[in-house]
Amino acid sequence: MCSFIPLHASVYENIVEVIKSDGPLGMDYSNYGSFYGIMDQFSIALHKKHLIPDLIPMTGMKEKLSEGIEFLDVGCGSGFHACELGL
Ligand SMILES: C[S@@+](CC[C@H](N)C(=O)[O-])C[C@H]1O[C@@H](n2cnc3c(N)ncnc32)[C@H](O)[C@@H]1O
């Protein structure tokens, strides 16, 4: 989680400018040099252990996933979660 502090600090000035000019519309992820790498490390560390054994049973999707349903992964980082579910 601490990896996010220098990541956000590195684009602080960009965020200030975006808020001044566009309001709270957000800033393109391309402004963050290493966003996806850090996000991926964070997600893997946080979710790898619990995604399949704990989280999926809570969704009621375990049987459907086992049967081989199709799903769409949009806006979900590197695709780590989809790859885990596909194993
Ligand atoms: C904070 S990351 C979380 C990624 C993933 N849920 C994880 O835990 O690793 C947010 C994700 O949303 C995607 N995203 C943000 N705005 C989007 C948009 N307008 N359309 C599609 N994807 C978007 C980003 O590219 C990024 O992959």
pLDDT at 86: 85
Ligand 1 contact, 41 CB (< 6 A)? no
The token duo for 72 is 């769409």
Q: What is the average pLDDT across 64-79?
A: 89
Ligand 1 contact, 45 CB (< 6 A)? no
84 with 48, same domain: the answer is yes
pLDDT digits (tens, 9 = 90+) for 28-47: 888 888 888 999 999 999 89
86 with 64, same domain: the answer is yes
pLDDT at 58: 93
C-alpha torsion sign, points 49, 55, 53, 75: negative
23 with 54, same domain: the answer is no
17 with 49, same domain: the answer is no
Tell me the residue range of the domain where 87 lies: 40-87
Q: What is the average pLDDT across 9-37?
A: 85
2 with 44, same domain: the answer is no
Task: Give 15's contacts (C-beta < 8 A, 6+ positions apart).
Answer: 8, 27
Choose among 40, 45, 32, 44: nearest CA to 5.
32
pLDDT at 50: 93
The alpha carbon of 4 and the centre of ligand 1 are apart by a number of angstroms equal to 15
